[in-house]
Structure 1
Amino acid sequence: MTPTLLWNAQEARIATGGRLSGPSDWNASGVSIDSRSVAAGDLFIALAGPNHDGHDYVKAAIESGAACAVVHKIPDGCDGLPLLVVADTMKGLEDLGRAARARTDARILAVTGSVGKTSTKEMAALVLSRQGATHWSVGSFNNHWGVPLSLARMPAASKFAVFELGMNHPGEITPLVAMVRPHVAIVTTVELVHAGHFATIEEIADAKAEIFSGLEPDGVAVLNRDNRHYRRLSRAATAAGVTRQLTFGSHIDADARLLDCAVDPKETAVFALLRDGALAYRIGVPGVHWAMNSLAVLLAAGALGAEVETAARALADMTPPKGRGERHLIKAGAGTAELIDESYNASPVSMKAAIATLAAARPGKGGRRIAVLGDMLELGEQSAALHAGVAQAVTAWNIDVVHTAGPLSAALRDALPEDRRGIHADDSAALAPLVKAAVKAGDVVMVKGSAGSRMGRVVKALQEGA
């Protein structure tokens, strides 16, 4: 398969306002900012960060097959190599992103929200890709470098594109959405996430509402009708000039209304009303939160010009992104156990959703439902109370044992009934071998925590020898 041409030398020069040095007859089929993963034909952007300077790896990137390197200084030993010299490489990346957006006729969706951004983006990418060439940001490339990088990688001939926009401070979404200029914007929900950087949850809602500032004329806002900040978001959208708003949720007035949802260990069955039409479909991932966000995806797909019933059918093929519900069989004693990997990140609302999903799992004979939970970070002064509050979900969903790691999770351990308390350790590294030794055949084990708590260590330990 012939790689898609993204940039030739002259296009990249014009987009960035830079100058070409060395061979200038190159064509780039990819864009990279990491010399360790450069593929043949990539345009390597030498970003200068606080800990590493991409200029130190320009020669290695070219030797690995990069078509050209974008630099703001010519490194020693790189004379004669194919270079595009710009005033600042970060600005050069942004310029490439803006140029990629300007040259495409793709219908574009942007997704933000306190939780569910990546899973919603992945669902949207799946359903749209069944109806035309679709580009989407990989992983959680949702910040000041991830968004322009994702834009710069967008083929001009794309029919649809999906971008995730994240933030943990006010004012961060505004410049991102100005680059993306979406036709449709989803706000999945507003919850107490990154609370350490905001005085109130209303400030978090206002920061998410920045996404409306970049909507194209006649753009559509898709909002969670069940969220208590719905009216605040709706007013913000109106103030930004958004004249068309669609809503999803269980609320009777929602445009896409969840009527019923059945969760089993492998999938989720959804029965919904989209405006006045009934729609039944399955999602290949278990969880009520997946069902809810799928409604936002279907509304967005329709607003982008896709066929909604076809989009709904495609959701049966959905698989969870890495660290967001992946399931694995692991060795445990003389048999096997099931591992649910939710280790990518955590907040109070996503922690409770993961516990509800664990409750729907079916342990083997004599098996238990076990939660292995790490610290939830950036929760501010309410951190201890929010950690302790997770205990209510553990009890409500009848989880058998909860192992915890980290100083913040000690508040959760203390709030648990004694018969649910498992092992507690200072960090995930200390907890991992203890959990591995405690898991028995037939158990179902769910692992979750904020990225900074590094609960992936526990996942790795459980999978060793699986």
Structure 2
Amino acid sequence: MNLASPLMHPALRVWPVTPADTMPLALWTAGEIAEACGGIASHDFQASGVEMDSRDVKSGDIFVALKGEAMDGHKFLPQAFEKGAVAAIVDRPVDYPHVLVQDTTAALHALAEFARERSQAVRIGITGSVGKTGMKEAIFTCLDRASRGAAHRSVRSYNNHVGVPLSLARMPARAKFGVFEMGMNHRHEIAPLSARVRPHVALITTIAPAHIENLGSLEAIADEKAEIFTGLVEGGTAIIPADSEWADRLIAHARNCGATIITFGRSKDADVRLLDAIPAAGGGALVTADLGDRRICYTVAEPGEHWIVNSLGVMAAVRAAGGDLGAAGLALAEMGGLKGRGARHEIALDGGTALLIDESYNANPASMRATLKALAATPATRRLAVLGSMKELGDFADAFHRQLAEPLGEAGVTHAILVGEEMRALAEELGKLSGAALGKAITFAHCGSPAEAIAALGQYGLAPGDAVLVKGSNSVGLGRLVSHFTDKARAGG
């Protein structure tokens, strides 16, 4: 049909043309990679993705053969090409299509910078002790809906000195938004990541004693997280949790960086302030918020009070980035839990179902309390908890583990399975309370491994109406327990 035909719908005749329409559809061409990295391309090619792990290569990817102290990616070139890589970035001549560079790590960083500079995307950086990945996914989902698929984000928890440049290198030239997570284990790790991303908007989720073993104090953690503001573009926006006891400290850091400051939370002084939250079907909430010049009402599908406040930060970020608040509200209403970070599974049993809440990816004292509080609000006949050790707490580990006894009781947990050496302190505390309690005490089992925990939960037995929270640091491996019971349920056994 003639595009100028009067029979065609008017919206099709006036479809807007933007500068992005002239950009290539391929993520990278051989020439662009050679230009970005200062390398030499052996062949002409187009790549649809960038990967550094040969196991994760997909058809059309370019494989970056990173060289570290213990591993050399060049050894995995055959596997990468078997899985469909179109070329590789290498530091030596190879018998595959490639771009030859002096240093593959430096080349990845150069590719990241080139991707950042060629794109007009508004970039959002996120850090914090708790909730980084969940809020990153929520902001991405909101902006992706508003831009009709033109948003980009770091996948998984690619938030370190390798993951951040990789995520940037994967950002399409046509992207309108880019959302990047930044994490740290030690001092002075956030600032270089923020300098690499150069965010227009930087958000801090929560300050909590994650990695306190390496940082030493909550003040030091707050100062390190605030380093994200140092990378802001001129006139950038800092989004800060108003309810944090470290809010003033974070605001001072942001002000020193010349940022526009937006706070969010329940505080009466918050710029994005919670007015009301009513429980909604499925465990979520109907939220009313004051943005200063307007009020908005939306539904949050994710259960738990922490997600009510999280949603305020999401809305603040979406607005600061120029996104559509209406589309954001629809996205939050439809967003489900992430694997290892709140995904909910129905386990079929004779006579009914049990609910398994998968929080197996990460844990620290603040997130443990938040998820136990969410468990308390979950309708259930019995509430069970499988809790794995919280890592990187150093000398504070025993105290923080013991302190979980109180929120376990408040959540109405009837039986707990504790996994890992650090959980011994909580087992001892529950043992003391069991001996002193006048009411019904929490029964518990202490296990050394996920395999033992699987056996312990199987022996205890699930019943229709049960709600089971599974949470621990990723290194404990409780994802195996989640897979065991969900796979078993799918298999009908």
| TM-score above 0.5 | yes
Q: Which residue of 1 aligns with 2:263?
A: 247
Q: Is the 8 A contact 2:124 2:200 kept in 1?
A: yes
1:87 aligns with 2:70: no
After TM superposition, the structure 1 stretch with the greater mean CA deviation from structure 2, 385-394 or 334-343, is 334-343
Unaligned runs of 5+ in 1: none
Distance 2:225 2:203 in 1: 10
Alignment-derived partner of residue 178 in structure 1: 195
| Residue 333 (structure 1) shift | 5.4
Q: Does 1:64 align with 2:87?
A: no
- 1:11 paired with 2:35, answer no
C-alpha separation in 2, matches of 1:353 and 1:262: 18
Match of residue 48 from structure 1 = 67
Aligned to 2:57: 38
Partners of 2:475 and 2:222 lie apart in 1 by: 24
1:75-118 C-alpha deviation (Å, 9 max, x unpaired) = xxx33x21111111111111111100000111111110010101
1:225 is matched with: 242
Are residues 1:120 and 2:135 paired? Answer: yes
Q: 1:452: how far off? A: 1.3
Question: Which has the larger displacement, 309-318 or 94-103?
Answer: 309-318
**1:49–1:440 CA distance, 2 compared to 1 (3 A):** farther
Matches of 2:53 and 2:173, distance apart in 1: 23
Matched AA of 2:116: R
Matched residues in 2 for 1:158 and 1:238: separation?
Answer: 29
Quote the residue 2:121 is aligned against.
106
Counterpart residue number, 1:372? 386
Residue 263 of structure 1 and its aligned partner are, at CA, apart by 4.2
How far did residue 361 of structure 1 move?
A: 1.4
In 2, the alpha carbon distance for the partners of 1:286 and 1:334 equals 26
- What is the CA–CA distance in structure 2 between the aligned matches of 1:60 and 1:461, rounded to whole Å? 29
Indicate the residue corresponding to 1:134 in structure 2: 151
Using structure 2 for the length normalisation, give the TM-score: 0.89
Cα distance in structure 2, aligned partners of 1:90 and 1:281: 44
Q: Is the 8 A contact 1:403 1:423 kept in 2?
A: yes
Does the 8 A contact of 2:389 with 2:472 survive in 1? Answer: yes
Q: 1:317 aligns with which of 334, 337, 342?
A: 334
CA distance in 1, matches of 2:132, 2:239: 13
Deviation of 1:395 (Å): 1.7
Shift of 1:460: 2.1
- Contact map agreement 1:328 1:338 (CA 8 A) in 2: yes
Aligned residues: 454
1:14 counterpart SS class: helix
Could you say which residue in structure 2 is the equivalent of 1:446? 469
The equivalent of 1:385 in structure 2 is: 399
- Compute the displacement of 1:266 (Å): 3.6
Structure 1 residue 329: Cα displacement: 1.4
Q: How does 1:422-461 map to 2 (within 5 A)?
A: 422-438=444-460, 439-461=462-484
Contact in 1 for aligned 2:158/2:167 (Cα 8 Å)? yes
Structure 1: distance between partners of 2:261 and 2:144: 24
**8 Å contact 2:376–2:410 — kept in the other structure?**
no
Which residue does 1:336 correspond to in 2?
353
User: Which deviates the most, 264-273 or 166-175?
Assistant: 264-273
Name the CA distance, whole Å, in 2 between partners of 1:306 and 1:186: 15
Alignment match, 2:212: 195
- Other-structure match for 2:20: none
Cα distance, 1:378 vs structure 2: 0.4
Q: Which runs of 5+ in 2 are unaligned?
A: 1-23, 435-440
Aligned 8 A contact 1:433 1:461 in 2? no
Compute the TM-score of the two structures, normalised by the length of structure 1: 0.94
Which residue of the partner structure matches residue 238 of structure 1? 255
Q: SS of 2:193's equivalent?
A: helix
Tell me if structure 1 keeps the 8 A contact 2:355–2:467. yes
Greater shift, 120-129 or 409-418, is seen at: 409-418
Q: For residue 442 of structure 2, what is the amino acid of its counterpart? A: R
Q: 1:348-399: CA deviations, max 9, x gaps?
A: 0100111111112122xxx311111010000111111111111111122222
Structure 2 counterpart of 1:258: 274
Alpha-carbon spacing, 1:90–1:356, altered in 2? closer, same or farther (3 Å): same
Deviation at 1:4, TM superposition (A): 4.0
Give the aligned partner of residue 394 of structure 1: 408
Report if aligned partners of 1:331, 1:465 keep a CA contact under 8 Å in 2. Answer: no
